Structure 1
Amino acid sequence: MKKLSIIAIALFMQTISAQVNRFVYQVTMKPEVANKNDIKTENAYLDISSDKSLFYSENRLKRDSIIQNNIQNGGMRGFNREQMEGVRSNINYTVEKDKVNQKIYFKDRLGRDMYSYEEERPLNWKISSETTKIGDYKVQKAETDFAGRKWTAWFTTDLPYQDGPYKFGGLPGLIVKIEDSQGDYSFDLMKNYKIEEFPTPTQFGNTLKVKRTDFVKQQEKFKADPMAFMNQGGSGRPGGTGGLMRIGGVRQGGGAGGGNQNPADMRKMMQERIKEEAKKNTNPIELQ
């Protein structure tokens, strides 16, 4: 009986450690330099396990679900543009923290492909003795300079995670709130609960592993002329995907599920959307 009890406890602990803790942050952004009154707010998830964490948009998960449902039900014939517009996001990136190897990986889409780089800039925190209370948590103040902005964070040791939203972490507890000195970006913890496992984001196109500096260069090319970037054989890479475009998970110019779509109309829609998004994202979270 004693051995059975030990086994039961071990299995229970294994189950607990295998669970993923989801922290929901409200992200407030002012993405336009010329229009600071245009404030965007949406939720993002920080999913944490014992060996890694993943930060991404709640709308990304909803969008993936819509795309998968459409694909499973006869491709994109039932594609609802209004439904997709309702889950558009200003957080199109994901940030994964490898806790075992102490690595941070950033992923974002440019054109047809996903770009991935390892973040190598360290966060040097200045921890203050100042404390206060945010919601149910006693929190402590910390400050850092990162990517051209000055950030003030409030972390709690009430939760056993040295983590936080976006690329932030490395404090003696979980970041409950963090905001830059200009008030352009803030992350506020709203709630948390457990989920069974990490979601698997829908992946279209290739994943290109690059240096951060190379990603920034490609990003600037994309912003300067999105369609020229996409028409250069695939995300600005010679000899890429041959001018094919993926829209909502469907490859235009051939392929399953796109038979009833007008390629010219879809291309025009994509052009308009890319230009609109480029104009409205002139105040990025990273300035350097």
Structure 2
Amino acid sequence: MRKYTAIKIISFFFIIQILPLQIFAQFFDHPSKILDSANLIITYKMSWKQDTNNLEYIRQENMILLVGKKISMFMSYNFYKFNLIGRKAEREGQLDEFLHGTERGNFKTRFTYKIYKNYPAGRITYADKVMPAFLQYDENLNTFKWQLTNLIDTIGDYVAHCAYTDYGGRHWIAWYATDIPLNDGPYKFRGLPGLIIKLYDDQKHYVFDMVSMERSDKAMLIEYMDMGWVQTTRPEFLKAQKNFRLDIINRAKEAGVDNEGQQRAVRSMTKRNNPIEF
């Protein structure tokens, strides 16, 4: 298997993004632990405005919530599929071909985080890469303090009730369906008497719409990859993310990227100035 150093990964993915999926080759070098299995798969369409200087430009990506008996996992659908197919390719001795073939282009994503809601432990675990480290932090499962309202609407086939909460520097509006008695939702959100089927902040910079919910006869594994995670706190994680964005030129130089590539990196990062959490 071809080796990928941290420097190469930086230049491939975070900086010039010429080969945006090769960063994940290293994921297959680490063991995984099966935490649970899911028969319920919920798909959300996430729409977001990444650039506060160009709010007319809206990006979209599908995210999935895998619901197990004790644990749920939320992540990018493309990232999930990439991991499944990549691990299959690795087992068959074809990982290098997969990473350098055309199929990998079907799984582009801007989001590599995984969010685990561990109900028995009462804990939310957020895990992601902030180069050069793999970082994770925990939060209390009951982080969200909801204000229930009497507002009712029909969303798709469901009667939905409205609730508000403040989190991550944003004021959030959630619509949940009591007909779906599932205490979960997109991203980190949960804690309502029904599944959250629509969620958005009051400026609609981030919007999650449930587009499907299906039960599978074949269980989908909820896995935890042992990436040598560094345990941190949420404030320290957000600080690391901010520092990476601010230090993109130096990161590019360290990666050996030429001046033109450095400027492309700066332009790209400048347009990503609106994270979901502050």
TM bracket (short chain): 0.7 to 0.9
Q: After alignment, is 83-92 or 205-214 more displaced?
A: 83-92
Cα RMSD of the aligned pairs, angstroms, is 3.2
| Residues 143 and 152 in structure 1, CA contact (< 8 A), matched pair in contact too | yes
Find the aligned partners of 1:66 and 1:60 in 2 and give their Cα distance.
Answer: 10
Greater strand share, structure number = 2
Which of 1 and 2 has higher RCO (CA within 8 Å, sep 6+)? 2
Question: What letter matches 2:66 in structure 1?
Answer: D
Find the aligned partners of 1:87 and 1:111 in 2 and give their Cα distance.
Answer: 21
Q: Does 1:40 align with 2:63?
A: no
* Structure 1 residue 70, shift from structure 2 partner: 5.0
Query: Are the structure 2 counterparts of residues 279 and 163 from structure 1 closer, same or farther at C-alpha, using a change threshold of 3 Å?
Result: same
- Which consecutive unaligned segments of at least 5 residues does structure 2 have? 1-35
| Residues 170 and 277 in structure 2, CA contact (< 8 A), matched pair in contact too | yes
* Aligned counterparts, 1:69-148, within 5 A: 71=90, 72-77=92-97, 79-80=99-100, 83-120=103-140, 122-148=143-169
Matched-pair identity in %: 28
Find the aligned partners of 2:97 and 2:212 in 1 and give their Cα distance.
Answer: 37
* Aligned counterparts, 1:178-193, within 5 A: 178-193=199-214
**TM-score, normalised relative to structure 2:** 0.75
**TM-score, normalised relative to structure 1:** 0.72
* Structure 1 residue 281, shift from structure 2 partner: 1.8
1:123-166 deviation per Cα after TM superposition (whole angstroms, max 9, x unaligned)? 11110011111111111010111111111110011112111100
Q: Does 1:198 align with 2:221?
A: yes
1:1-35 deviation per Cα after TM superposition (whole angstroms, max 9, x unaligned)? xxxxxxxxxxxxxxxx9653111111111111111
Question: What letter matches 1:185 in structure 2?
Answer: Y
Partner of 2:188: 167
Partner of 2:246: 224
| Residues 111 and 230 in structure 1, CA contact (< 8 A), matched pair in contact too | no
Query: Are the structure 2 counterparts of residues 116 and 273 from structure 1 closer, same or farther at C-alpha, using a change threshold of 3 Å?
Result: farther
- Which consecutive unaligned segments of at least 5 residues does structure 1 have? 1-16, 233-244, 246-263
Partner of 2:273: 282
Query: Are the structure 2 counterparts of residues 227 and 119 from structure 1 closer, same or farther at C-alpha, using a change threshold of 3 Å?
Result: farther
Report the 3-state secondary structure (helix = DSSP H, G, I; strand = E; otherwise coil) of the residue aligned with 2:173.
strand
1:171-196 deviation per Cα after TM superposition (whole angstroms, max 9, x unaligned)? 11110101111111111111111240
| Residues 30 and 184 in structure 1, CA contact (< 8 A), matched pair in contact too | yes
Partner of 2:22: none
Aligned length: 239
* Structure 1 residue 77, shift from structure 2 partner: 4.9
Select the residue among 49, 57, 62 that pairs with 2:68.
49
Find the aligned partners of 1:50 and 1:205 in 2 and give their Cα distance.
Answer: 25
